[in-house]
Structure 1
Amino acid sequence: MQDKHRIQADLDWLINSPDFLSVASVNELHSGNLLNANQLLVNVVGESDSFRFEPTHRLGVYFEQLWHHLIRSNPSYELIRSNQQVIINKQTLGEFDSIIESHHAKETVHCELAVKFYLQIGSGEEMANWVGPNLRDRFDRKFKRLLSHQLALSSKVEVKAWLEQQQLVIDQSALLTRGRLFYAIQNFLNQTYTHPAEVATDHLKGFWATHEEFNSYREQNNFEWYQLPRMYWLSELTENDYPEVKKLGRLNQEQLATIVGMQNGKEVVRGFVVTDEWLQRARQRVLTLD
């Protein structure tokens, strides 16, 4: 269970942190007509008191819970459906993350959500140069599925018929993305932020380093370092979180770790420390065509 302080911090982070993907750039580069779901967060106030945490160890599921709470708390909108699976002839064709009705505009919006974290392997200009920490997730493949499957779900002929049967109408599709890109440490320190055109320029940034690189960097600063559990990857770490996180000791060379540097109780930087084996597999991953 996330505590009240952490939930409040994560709600505020969802409301105020920058887009991960630039909806305007996505529309321009891919001939889309997506709404930026940030419009649904205008004037919203997220309070943790009434938040219903459903136990999960999946960060994406927790992120969806935060979003659904914010929409339910906003009197301008009604959450019609959440995590609505589309099952036709016993076959699951997809899922709508959230279907929202705007009382003011009298429109129904399908909003797709994504919270993503990618590490740079290569120049960084192409989406294929970015992989997730577990290496199963590569940016270009995830983005293609987001556009061609998830956001296009309501436009499929059979799904349109299913929506009519459910007495649902979808007038618009919208996208809300949050996340962070982790740059190779020298690029990060030099502020050489080469990223795909679809990524928002002001996206959140961090670094990744091998154990040797991190140990060298660690000796050059006086930050206090902590290891971040996965459920703490969203908002900045604060002193309120110290009882729940481990102070970073000497890392095992075989350990992949998410870390955060603190100074005077404030988060300064966060990153990943990767193993040599992980790096070898990551380089292979960006070269794989599938």
Structure 2
Amino acid sequence: MKALEPAANAAAALGALLDSLVDPAVRDLAWLLFSPDLLRAQPPAGMLASPFESAGEASSTVAWLLHLDQDARDLHENLAVAHVTRLGRYAECLLGYFLRYGPAARLVAANVALRRAGRTIGECDFLVETAGGRRLHWELAVKCYLRAGGASVSMADYVGPNLQDRFDLKFTHLLDHQLPLSAREEFASLGHEGPWDAQMFVKGWLFYRWCDEAQVSEAVLPIPAEIHPAHARGWWLAREDFPRVAAGHAQAWAVLPRLAWLAPRHRVPVDCATAGHLLGSDALVEQLAQQSGPTMVAAFERDDGAQWFERSRGFVVPNDWPARALAFAGQ
């Protein structure tokens, strides 16, 4: 039990911070900075990025976020100019804003393309410099993977909802291709004096089949050694199984659009329910029947009557998805 206490304390601290923030984009930025990593460090090449060089920087960032939450117009204008439609790009814009205006590491360059003979061979996400003078190369990824449910305990078991991505393939590409970019000869000619310490900044959610979450303790559910045990977790269900659990799991539901896949949606006004943003379980089942692919949904409960808060989130997938996911995972 002792080993779980730091993770539990960190989760409580993040929850308290998110509870104090109202603006969705500010909440997403706070989650990006303070949420647990999806991966453990993989020394020597796969070290983890930290937005903060000291406890003082982390504390200053909390104060900065609380101030930003009072007037987030500049952040929203930056997002609007970027015409963000993809989750990864949204996360890049949030982190870039923090590196330009926040109280910690400073942005040197972003999206630095490396080319050879006119062909792009890679792109470094962020080059940053800390207050202590460290020069860091960060590779950012925000991923949502569903554990396919096979018998093995492997990174390959974790697949993207649309079965076009797999955690082991992303992990290998990150270690073997993306992180070494700043050490290549082509990079040295771009004028960004190094050396640069390459680090991975990988956040997101991992989703486990509902029966795993309901019947097996998360503490004993085996996970690959590469995955951080404190990672953010959700669940998944086949569409035919969803109605039997939906009514008993939450007072209300919502379909989460892709750009709402970062921070939990804790602070939703009660009047959103009357505006159609929140649905009863029957209405959600009816809506999901019109969907052809996996859909992320969130379960909501009311607090003292003033707010709805997200209780959990998960994917509702087509009935044939589990078998196709196992095949995609190589099981």
Match of 2:191 in 1: 166
Q: Counterpart of 1:266 in structure 2: which amino acid?
A: F
* Residue of structure 1 aligned with 2:176, choices 124, 148, 154: 148
What corresponds to 1:134 in structure 2? 162
Aligned to 1:271: 314
Give the deviation of 1:125 after TM superposition: 1.9
Instruction: Supply the AA of the counterpart residue of 2:47.
Output: L
On the 8 A contact 1:119/1:130 being kept in 2, the answer is: yes
What secondary structure is seen at the aligned counterpart in 1 of 2:237? strand
1:232 aligns with one of 245, 260, 274:
260
Letter in 1 for 2:311: V
Alignment correspondent of 1:257: 295
In 1, distance between residues paired with 2:194 and 2:250?
A: 56
How far residue 170 of structure 1 moved from its aligned partner, in angstroms, is 3.3
Partner-residue secondary structure (3-state), 2:135: strand
Unaligned runs of 5+ residues in structure 1 are none
Larger helix fraction of residues:
2
Structure 1 residue 57 displacement after superposition:
1.2
Displacement of 1:118 after TM fit?
A: 0.4
The 5-angstrom pairing of residues 13-24 of structure 1 reads: 13-23=31-41
Aligned-pair distance for 1:169? Answer: 1.7
CA distance, structure 2, for counterparts of residue 182 and residue 244 of structure 1: 26
Verify: 1:188 aligned to 2:213, yes or no: yes
What's the C-alpha RMSD, in Å, of the aligned pairs?
Answer: 2.3
TM-score by length of 1: 0.87
Stretches of structure 2 that go unaligned for 5 or more consecutive residues are 1-21, 303-307
SS of the residue aligned with 2:161?
Answer: coil
CA spacing shift, 1:77–1:219, aligned 2, 3 Å: closer
Change (3 A) 1:80 1:38: closer
1:106-151 Cα shifts (integer Å, max 9, x gaps): 2211011111110011246200101001111011000000000001
CA distance in structure 1 between the partners assigned to 2:176 and 2:256 by the alignment:
33
C-alpha distance in structure 2 between counterparts of 1:16 and 1:153, whole Å = 26
Paired residue for 1:37? 50
Residues 82, 98 of structure 1: 8 Å contact kept: yes
Is 1:228–1:246's contact at 8 Å kept on the other side of the alignment? no
Distance of 2:83 and 2:132 partners within structure 1: 34
TM-score by length of 2: 0.77
Correspondence 1:116 to 2:134: no
Structure 2 equivalent of residue 280 of structure 1: 323
% identity of equivalent residues: 30
Deviation at 1:249, TM superposition (A): 4.6
One-letter code aligned to 2:74? S
Contact (CA 8 Å) 2:234, 2:314: kept in 1 or not? yes
Measure how far apart 1:171 and its partner are. Answer: 2.9
2:203 matched to which residue of 1? 178
Q: Is this contact kept in 1: 2:183–2:196, CA < 8 A?
A: no
Go from structure 1 to structure 2 and tell me whether the alpha carbon gap of 1:205 and 1:169 turns closer, same or farther (over 3 Å shift). Answer: same
Letter in 1 for 2:295: A
Q: In the alignment, what sits opposite 1:214?
A: 242
Tell me, in whole angstroms, the C-alpha distance in 2 between the residues paired with 1:221 and 1:34.
38
